[in-house]
Amino acid sequence: MMNNLMRAGLVAVVALLTGCVTPPQKNVDYTAFRESKPASILVLPPLNTSVDVAATAAVLSQATLPLAESGYYVIPVGVMEETFKQNGLTSPDDIHELPAVKLREIFGADAALYMTVKQYGASYAVVASTVTVSIDAELLDLRNGAKLWSGSKQVVHANNNSNGGLIGMLVQAVVDQVVNNLTDRSYSVAGMTNAQLLSAGTPGGMLYGPRSPRYEAQ
């Protein structure tokens, strides 16, 4: 004799077992992405339309984790930035204009991620201050220029630290912040935004890359 609550519990367990393999949203067209099968991604320095100049560094430096954990090789961003610099390219606007063929030739990546940071930083109010980071991203195939995926994410983080969500907590747990003695909350929120925007397996999100154990199953 089964109680309703018991049944609900079992349903929840079944949901747990099947829930992890939820397919991405149906209204997103993954045809080009699946055909392209990119293995490596070049994350270009993001355009920055926010008022804080630190936004580019914060977003660029933290884009590697979600993409690598999703199964992609990510071109080392610091070395990439330095290479651009040595070639006289310091403006993300100029870098975003570079021909795909040239990027492919130098960096050897299958795809490039073009990001725009639209909001970055704190806004102060009487009761509580919030930190907002908002990012747009587009993934292009460097071999044929095809658009593979696009997405955008905004994370608003309130003062009381209860709004970070699980992904934020996980990001903070895995990222060692000792080196820089980072107290910069905007940097942390940028990490959460990147994680939510670029982690595979979310509705409408990126697909898993070849290095992920979930690549074959998707």
Partner 1 sequence: MITHNNNRRAGAARAGRLLAIAALAGVLSACVQQPKSMYSWQSYQGSVYSYLKDDGGDYATQTLAMEKNIETARAANAELPPGFRAHLGMLYMKMGNGDKGVEQMQGEKAAFPEAAPFMDFLLRNVGKPQTVAATDAGTPATGSPAAGSPAAGSTTSAKPAAAEPAAPAEAGTLKKGS
Binding to partner 1 in span 32-61, by CB under 8 A: 39-40, 54, 56-58, 60-61
Q: Cα(135)–Cα(92) distance, rounded to whole angstroms? A: 15
Contact at 8 Å (CB) between 196 and 153? yes
Q: Give the number of residues in contact with partner 1, rule: CB under 8 A.
A: 76
Site map (CB under 8 A) of partner 1, residues 125-144, x = contact: --------------------
Q: Cα(62)–Cα(195) distance, rounded to whole angstroms? A: 8
Q: Could you say which of 23, 26, 27, 86 contacts partner 1 (CB under 8 A)?
A: 86
Q: Could you say which of 25, 49, 87, 144 contacts partner 1 (CB under 8 A)?
A: 87
Q: Which of residues 10-29 bind partner 1 (CB under 8 A)?
A: 10, 12-13, 15-16, 19-20, 22
φ/ψ of residue 115, rounded to 5: -120, 155
Question: How many Å separate Cα 173 from the centre of its chain?
Answer: 17
Interaction between residue 218 and partner 1 (CB under 8 A): no
Task: Please report how close the Cβ of residue 74 comes to partner 1 at its closest, in angstroms.
Answer: 5
Interaction between residue 99 and partner 1 (CB under 8 A): yes
Q: Cα(168)–Cα(155) distance, rounded to whole angstroms? A: 10
Q: Which residues pair with 138 in a beta bridge?
A: 114, 150
Q: Could you say which of 25, 29, 34, 78 contacts partner 1 (CB under 8 A)?
A: 78
Task: Please report how close the Cβ of residue 15 comes to partner 1 at its closest, in angstroms.
Answer: 7
Instruction: Quote the tokens at residue 167.
Output: 């992904």
Q: Which of residues 177-216 bind partner 1 (CB under 8 A)?
A: 177-180, 182, 187, 191, 195, 199, 211-212, 214
Task: Locate the DSSP E strands across 18-129.
Answer: 40-43, 47-48, 73-74, 111-123
Question: How many Å separate Cα 107 from the centre of its chain?
Answer: 20
Instruction: CB nearer to partner 1: give 30 or 73.
Output: 73
Q: Cα(156)–Cα(109) distance, rounded to whole angstroms? A: 32
Instruction: CB nearer to partner 1: give 27 or 97.
Output: 97
